[in-house]
Amino acid sequence: MYRTHNCGELRINKLGTEVTLSGWVQKVRKLGGMTFIDLRDRYGITQLVFNDETDAALSEKAQKTGREFVVKINGTVTERSNKNPEIPTGDIEIIVKKMEVLSKSEIPPFTIEENTDGGEEIRLKYRYLDLRRPVVQKGIILRHKMAQEIRNFLSNKEFLEIETPFLIKSTPEGARDFVVPSRMSDGKFYALPQSPQVFKQLLMIGGYDKYFQLTKCFRDEDFRADRQPEFTQIDCEMSFVEREDILTTFEEMTKHLFNKVMNVDFPNAFPRIEYDKAMENYGSDKPDIRFEMKIHDISKLSQNKGFKVFDDAEYVGAICAEGLATYSRKQTDKLIDFVKRPQIGAKGLVYVKYNEDGTFKSSVDKFYSPEDLKTWAEALSAKPGDLILVMSGEKSKTLTALGELRLEMGERLNLRDKNKFAPLWIIDFPLFEKDEETGQFHAMHHPFTSPKPGEFNLLETNPEAVKANAYDLVINGNEIGGGSIRIHNTEMQEKMFEHLGFTKEGAEEQFGFLMKAFKYGAPPHGGIAFGLDRWVALFNGSDSIRDVMAFPKNNAGRDLMIDAPAEIDEQQLTDLHLKIVK
């Protein structure tokens, strides 16, 4: 037998018990005639003691074990004379009688402790060692708990977990597909799903009116801290539902998860904000509403006073950063640099300091009287001591830039507390967005999204104004999930493809099977999908989804541990009818 207990469970009430433990040697402390070993497994750390006077040979053996050796010991649970209040097992230690080395270890490339000395790259390369660290385990365990709770909740609501295929067909809309060459069909390819979208709709037509799946999705685009080539979605779909049914069901699921996993309760309904309002007030379609600092339109108050920059602008907007009127010239210059960074791309920034004594000091004093500035302050509900930040230009771009600035100021004012959660729904997204270069319409959500009821007619006259029956769940500025009520009849779907620039033949070739299915009694349906990785990362307080994936890839989509992607041999290429062109 390898163990009677794990390394995290022994307490003072087990004094005198003979135990067997197995685990990894985290640390050996030699104090002359006495040696301590910290033995670790995923449940905790237990201290082992060896004494020269009791058993010199065993003590010698203990001193020779290195970090990360796997050992099995037999011994007696004893009260420590010097207790360690830092760890749960700190009141006891094991006086070892027998030790067996089960597996030796080379010297690990970084320290495997709560605070490692290893950098990102080396920890990815030796991911199996990083996985031994409690902080990493915490994320992996949290992920398991969330997945369990999701399954419990949905299963109790009579949702069925149904798998859909990974080897499917490439479609032109959306992200780039990962592609798999076919050996059996010369020159043909499978594609890995970007999401099970079409299959879950076909399941609705197949009569499985409540479906879900925790499944991998694949998108061959460039990656970020919160984007990996393969990621996990909580994919859900329901039949005979309207938007309200979906929002109610999944708001309940969200609350269930918060309650069971984070012990956080939301007695009230989540706020619902229309897309247009979100853009106007927060400059983002995924606003962080842990703090207010709304954007205000001060175009009317600031134009026609002789300041050309504002007069020529389509829009002038401002935010109010509380208590920052004391910012120095150097600090305001830093903010100007911040908005001028190419990622934000603003031309500049005007600041107004509303001083404690009620006076104003701004970078545009030449053009605006204190009375003018006072009207701005009133519009923003600014108090003496606050700093007003103003940007102008083309409306949507300025709003986006102000949104970025708002987040930055929220960060500086410590308003983005990781222990605080602010979920909300964004609703009424536009159905289409226009490609700036080609003028072509794209589906903002996806091409199966239904327009809002009552807006079907607008489709012909003013497609850009049509709102989609789509919704996103946003928590703390992260898009956690999104979905829509789908189109469920052939005519509407054909019209949609037409607007998206598909020819009749093209649509038939790509999605003919779906259009055909619609002809055999398709129930009204809709659904939602959540990004499990992002959600776990959010609950875990991680900035990167890599922290909550057992084996993540780097930002170039490479797996540094197994060194993938890799070349394949000539025979494989031949079998797949492929030739490498350099």
Partner RNA sequence: GGUCCGGUAGUUCAGUUUGGUUAGAAUACAUGCCUGUCACGCAUGGGGUCGCGAGUUCAAGUCUCGUCCGGACCGCCA
Q: Of all helices (H) and strands (E), which one includes residue 18? A: strand 18-31
Cα separation, 497 vs 459, whole angstroms: 12
Nearest CB to RNA, comparing residues 353 and 467: 467
97, 105, 110, 413: residue in contact with RNA (rule CB under 7 A):
110
Nearest CB to RNA, comparing residues 26 and 303: 26
Cα separation, 423 vs 476, whole angstroms: 7
CA angle in degrees (0–180, nearest 5) for 222-224-230: 70
124 binds RNA per the rule CB under 7 A = yes
> Cβ 431 to RNA, closest distance in Å?
10
> Cβ 363 to RNA, closest distance in Å?
26
Nearest CB to RNA, comparing residues 126 and 327: 126
Give Cα 391 distance to the centre of its chain: 30
Choose the binding region for RNA from 113-121, 207-215, 238-246, 410-418 (rule: CB under 7 A): 113-121
What percent of the chain is helix, strand and coil (3-state, nearest 5)? 30, 25, 45
Residues 527-553 as b/e (b if ≥16 CB within 10 A, e otherwise) read bbbbbbbbbbbbbbebebbbbbbeebb
Nearest CB to RNA, comparing residues 353 and 534: 534
Q: Report the Cα–Cα distance between both ends of the chain, in Å, rounded.
A: 57
Give Cα 88 distance to the centre of its chain: 32
Nearest CB to RNA, comparing residues 203 and 443: 443
Cα separation, 139 vs 121, whole angstroms: 19
Under 8 Å CB-to-CB from 164, ≥6 apart: which residues?
A: 193, 196, 199, 200, 203, 213, 215
118 binds RNA per the rule CB under 7 A = yes
- CA-based torsion, 338, 344, 346, 352: positive or negative: negative
Footprint of RNA on residues 429-468 (CB under 7 A)? 433, 442-447
Cα separation, 152 vs 412, whole angstroms: 40
Q: Does residue 209 contact residue 238 with C-beta atoms inside 8 Å?
A: yes
Choose the binding region for RNA from 222-230, 274-282, 373-381, 488-496 (rule: CB under 7 A): 222-230
β-bridge partners, 189? 181
> Cβ 293 to RNA, closest distance in Å?
20
560 binds RNA per the rule CB under 7 A = yes
Choose the binding region for RNA from 7-15, 143-151, 153-161, 190-198 (rule: CB under 7 A): 190-198
219 binds RNA per the rule CB under 7 A = yes
Nearest CB to RNA, comparing residues 335 and 377: 335
Choose the binding region for RNA from 81-89, 329-337, 407-415, 485-493 (rule: CB under 7 A): 81-89
195 binds RNA per the rule CB under 7 A = yes
104 binds RNA per the rule CB under 7 A = no
Footprint of RNA on residues 300-359 (CB under 7 A)? 342-343
With CB under 7 A as the rule, give the number of residues binding RNA: 65
Choose the binding region for RNA from 7-15, 218-226, 356-364, 391-399 (rule: CB under 7 A): 218-226
Cα separation, 232 vs 213, whole angstroms: 10
17, 303, 489, 555: residue in contact with RNA (rule CB under 7 A):
555
Footprint of RNA on residues 59-78 (CB under 7 A)? 66-67
Nearest CB to RNA, comparing residues 302 and 540: 540
111, 170, 182, 363: residue in contact with RNA (rule CB under 7 A):
111
Q: State the CB neighbour count (10 A cutoff) for residue 250.
A: 24
- CA-based torsion, 360, 363, 369, 373: positive or negative: negative
Residues forming the site for RNA (CB under 7 A): 27, 29-34, 36, 38, 47, 49, 51-53, 66-67, 80-84, 86-87, 90, 93, 107, 109-111, 117-122, 124, 173-176, 194-195, 197, 219, 221-222, 224-227, 342-343, 433, 442-447, 544, 554-556, 558, 560
